[in-house]
């Protein structure tokens, strides 16, 4: 006699598929978060290496931080706040940012993947009067991380509650107030850029944000401080509470030297 062969009924199969789908939906966010943590850890390591290179630069240059601009091979001064090291900029950006050879960190850390944040989603830029999307800061400027030289963008009508006493550009190492809190390098989500904000880490969808108050509160940025240590902070509260004064000091960081601390001789 043949034994009856048992198999899944259609209902049982649908139940199994549903259970697998539910389990997968529960696991995927955790896997995505773990993957993003790995990217953040990579950025922390990158910034530590830049901190060592910057220390060597400062020691070799009268104990002063890099200027906000350098004269390139074409004799045109160009901004280094987004291009302290790394690769040559893409062609449309060459008039604005220096070549790799002229960047302050080039002699201390050659162009490599150390200058890249793997979560770099780029930012809107204005070329020819129209906003354009760039694939990433690393792909267009040659570097993902930005130098806090003092070029801090503000909304019209915004300002500095303590009076702006200057940034790090050409400042003496020993003149920086509270180096354990003073931001030396950061990623774009930490602050405002011309008319918009960015989100890179732990953010889904569009990377450009028109209003931080209504955006998902994920303005996460790994940060290198003047004393050499690196930390990861979420700048959402500072950017959302009062977007017109986004650079005021907190217990964890400071962006600028208050006017009361400024060197009257400079």
C-beta of residue 186 within 8 angstroms of C-beta of residue 201 = no
Helix, strand, coil: what percent of the chain each, to 5?
A: 30, 15, 55
Distances (CA, A) of 211 to 134, 214, 259: 20, 6, 29
What is the model's pTM? 0.84
The pLDDT score that the predictor gives to residue 265 is 45
The pLDDT score that the predictor gives to residue 66 is 97
Average pLDDT, the chain: 88
Joined tokens for residue 226:
């003047």
d(CA 23, CA 47): 37
The pLDDT score that the predictor gives to residue 132 is 53
What are the tens digits of pLDDT across the range 239-262? 999 999 999 999 999 999 998 765
The DSSP H or E segment spanning 85 is: none
Domain extents in the chain: 34-261
The pLDDT score that the predictor gives to residue 52 is 97
Lowest mean pLDDT of 69-78, 115-124, 178-187, name the range: 115-124
| Residue 147 bridge partners (DSSP) | 185
């Amino acid at each position: 006699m043949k034994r009856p062969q048992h198999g899944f009924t259609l209902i049982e199969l649908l139940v199994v598929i549903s259970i697998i789908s539910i389990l997968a939906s529960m696991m995927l966010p955790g896997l995505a978060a773990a993957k993003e943590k790995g990217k953040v850890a990579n950025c922390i390591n990158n910034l530590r290496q830049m901190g060592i290179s910057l220390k060597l630069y400062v020691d070799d240059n009268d104990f002063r931080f890099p200027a906000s601009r350098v004269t390139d091979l074409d004799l045109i001064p160009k901004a280094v706040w987004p291009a302290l090291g790394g690769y040559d900029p893409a062609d449309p950006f060459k008039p604005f940012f220096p070549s790799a050879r002229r960047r302050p960190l080039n002699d201390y850390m050659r162009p490599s993947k150390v200058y890249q944040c793997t979560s770099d989603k780029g930012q809107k830029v204005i070329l020819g009067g129209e906003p354009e999307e760039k694939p990433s800061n690393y792909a267009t400027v040659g570097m993902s991380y930005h130098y806090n030289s003092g070029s801090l963008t503000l909304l019209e009508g915004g300002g500095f509650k303590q009076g702006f006493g200057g940034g790090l550009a050409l400042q003496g190492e020993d003149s920086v107030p509270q180096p354990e809190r003073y931001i030396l390098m950061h990623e774009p989500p930490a602050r405002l850029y011309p008319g918009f904000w960015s989100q890179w880490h732990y953010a889904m969808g569009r990377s450009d944000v028109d209003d931080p108050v209504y955006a998902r509160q994920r303005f996460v940025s790994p940060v290198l401080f003047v004393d050499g240590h690196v930390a990861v902070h979420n700048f959402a509260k500072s950017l959302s509470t009062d977007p017109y004064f986004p650079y005021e000091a907190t217990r964890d960081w400071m962006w600028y030297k208050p006017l009361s601390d400024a060197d009257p001789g400079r």
